[in-house]
C-alpha cells in the first residue's frame, strides 16, 4: 500500500510502498478514505512532541474516516463495508492514517455519521474527543451553565461550542477579529480578545460572577487568565494545553477547580480506549440530529500533498480543519 512515511524529524515525508497490514485480534482493517490534520501532527513531524512517544520511521496521522475491509478475531459490532471514523494512530507504536490502510483497535472506532462525508468525518475525532472529555466528562456541562471557549473558531473550540449548546449551556467564544463571524455562526456570543481584557468581558457578560466553565485551547497566558475568571466556588477551568509553569493561586482564591485533558492517553497506555469509541458514537448522534458539523478548509490535498496540507495549518491560512484525501 502507499503511505506517507516520516523517516527523520523535521524533514518532508516520503511517499512509499509499504506492507499492507492485516487485522489482528481485536482489530479492524480500515480502507482509509480521509485523514484529518491537527496541529499536533505538525509538532510530531517536527520532533517537538515527546509526549506522543513516536519512533521513526513512522506513518503519521491521528484521525481517519474510511470503510471496514476486514474484521479481526473477537471483534463484534463491525462488519466489512461499514463506514467508520476514529482517532486511531500516529502516536506511540500505532500506525497513522496517512496511508491507504490501517489495522486499528476496534475500541477506538465508531460508525461514521451518515450525514457527513468522509472528509467531514475525518476532521472530527481528535477535536471532538478533546472537547467532550473536558466539557462532559470533567465539567459535566448542562443547562444553566455559562461556558467560555477560548479559541472558539479553532478545531476544539468550534466543536466544543456545539457540544455545550447541545447540552443546554449558554456559550461564549474568544478569538481574533477575523474569526469572530465563525464563532457566531456556531451559536456562541463572540468575544474579541484584542478589544477587551478577560476581566472586562467577564464583568460585562457575567456581572463579575465569572464563567461556570472556561475551556482553554490556547495555553500559556490564556490559561493563566482563565484561572481568574472562573465562577467563585463552582467554576471549572479546563485545558488541553496545560504545559509550562502556572500559578494556581488565582483559581485557589476563588475556590474553583481545574482539569487537564490529555486525549492521547488511551492510545499510548491502552487503557480506556473503549471510551473514545463511546464518545464518537455520541458525536455521530449529534451530527446526524443536525446539532454538530465540522468547519472544513475547502482546499483538497492528497497523499502526495501532505507537506502542503501541513503548511496550510502551520501558516494560519486554513479556514477550518484541513483534511488529506487518500486515493486508492
Q: In angstroms, rounded to a whole number, what is the distance separating the alpha carbons of residues 149 and 141?
A: 12
- Mean residue pLDDT of the chain comes to 96
Supply the pTM of this predicted model: 0.97
Residue with grid cell 478577560, as numbered in its chain = 198
Q: State percent of the chain over pLDDT 70.
A: 100
Region 251-260 average pLDDT? 91
Contact 77, 109 (CB under 8 A): no
- pLDDT of 317 above 90: no
Q: In angstroms, rounded to a whole number, what is the distance separating the alpha carbons of residues 314 and 306?
A: 12
- pLDDT of 251 above 90: no
Could you tell me how far CA 15 lies from the centroid of its own chain? 26
Instruction: Determine the length of the chain.
Output: 328
Region 205-226 average pLDDT? 95
Q: Which residues of 76-86 are buried (b: 16+ CB within 10 A; e: fewer)?
A: eebeeebbbbb
Q: Which contacts (CB < 8 Å, 24+ apart) does range 13-22 have?
A: 13/45, 13/60, 13/98, 13/306, 13/307, 15/303, 15/304, 18/59, 18/99, 20/100, 20/101, 21/95, 21/101, 21/102, 21/103, 22/70, 22/103
The pLDDT of residue 298: 93
Q: Which residue stretches of the chain are H helix? A: 39-46, 118-122, 125-132, 155-166, 180-185, 198-206, 221-227, 249-253, 265-269, 273-288, 306-314
Category of 27 on φ-ψ map: left (φ > 0), alpha (ψ -120 to 50) or beta: beta
- pLDDT of 319 above 90: no
- pLDDT of 98 above 90: yes
Region 25-38 average pLDDT? 98
pLDDT in tens, 120-172: 999 999 999 999 999 999 999 999 999 999 999 999 999 999 999 999 999 99
Contact 196, 209 (CB under 8 A): no
- pLDDT of 17 above 90: yes
Residue with grid cell 475525532, as numbered in its chain = 125
What residues are paired with 15 via a beta bridge?
A: 4
Q: State percent of the chain over pLDDT 90.
A: 91
Could you tell me the pLDDT band of residue 34, with boundaries at 50, 70 and 90? Answer: very high
The pLDDT of residue 241: 85
Region 236-259 average pLDDT? 90
Contact 152, 176 (CB under 8 A): no
- pLDDT of 239 above 90: yes
Amino acid at each position: 500500500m502507499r503511505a506517507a512515511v516520516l523517516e527523520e524529524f523535521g524533514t518532508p515525508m516520503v511517499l512509499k510502498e509499504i506492507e499492507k497490514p492485516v487485522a489482528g485480534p481485536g482489530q479492524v482493517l480500515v480502507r482509509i478514505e480521509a485523514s484529518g490534520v491537527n496541529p499536533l501532527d505538525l509538532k510530531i513531524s517536527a520532533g517537538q512532541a515527546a509526549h506522543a512517544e513516536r519512533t521513526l520511521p513512522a506513518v503519521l496521522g491521528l484521525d481517519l474516516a474510511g470503510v471496514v475491509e476486514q474484521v479481526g478475531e473477537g471483534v463484534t459490532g463491525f462488519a466489512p463495508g461499514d463506514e467508520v471514523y476514529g482517532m486511531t494512530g500516529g502516536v506511540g507504536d500505532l500506525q497513522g492514517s496517512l496511508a491507504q490502510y490501517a489495522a486499528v483497535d476496534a475500541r477506538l472506532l465508531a460508525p461514521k455519521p451518515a450525514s457527513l462525508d468522509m472528509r467531514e468525518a475525518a476532521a472530527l475525532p481528535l477535536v471532538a474527543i478533546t472537547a467532550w472529555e473536558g466539557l462532559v466528562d470533567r465539567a459535566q456541562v448542562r443547562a444553566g451553565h455559562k461556558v467560555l471557549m477560548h479559541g472558539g473558531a479553532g478545531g476544539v473550540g468550534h466543536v466544543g461550542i456545539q457540544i455545550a449548546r447541545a447540552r443546554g449551556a449558554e456559550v461564549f467564544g474568544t478569538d481574533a477579529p477575523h474569526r469572530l463571524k465563525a464563532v457566531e455562526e456556531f451559536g456562541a456570543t463572540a468575544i474579541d480578545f484584542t478589544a477587551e481584557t478577560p476581566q472586562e468581558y467577564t464583568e460585562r457578560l457575567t456581572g463579575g460572577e465569572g464563567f461556570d466553565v472556561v475551556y482553554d485551547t490556547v495555553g500559556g497566558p490564556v490559561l493563566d487568565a482563565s484561572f481568574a475568571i472562573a465562577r467563585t466556588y463552582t467554576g471549572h477551568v479546563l485545558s488541553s494545553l496545560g504545559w509550562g509553569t502556572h500559578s494556581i493561586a488565582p483559581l485557589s482564591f476563588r475556590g474553583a477547580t481545574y482539569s487537564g485533558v490529555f486525549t492521547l492517553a488511551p492510545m499510548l497506555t491502552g487503557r480506556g480506549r473503549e471510551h473514545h469509541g463511546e464518545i464518537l458514537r455520541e458525536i455521530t448522534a449529534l451530527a446526524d440530529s443536525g446539532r454538530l458539523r465540522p468547519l472544513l478548509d475547502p482546499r483538497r490535498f492528497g497523499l502526495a500533498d501532505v507537506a502542503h496540507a501541513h503548511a496550510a495549518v502551520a501558516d494560519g491560512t486554513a479556514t477550518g480543519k484541513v483534511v488529506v484525501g487518500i486515493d486508492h
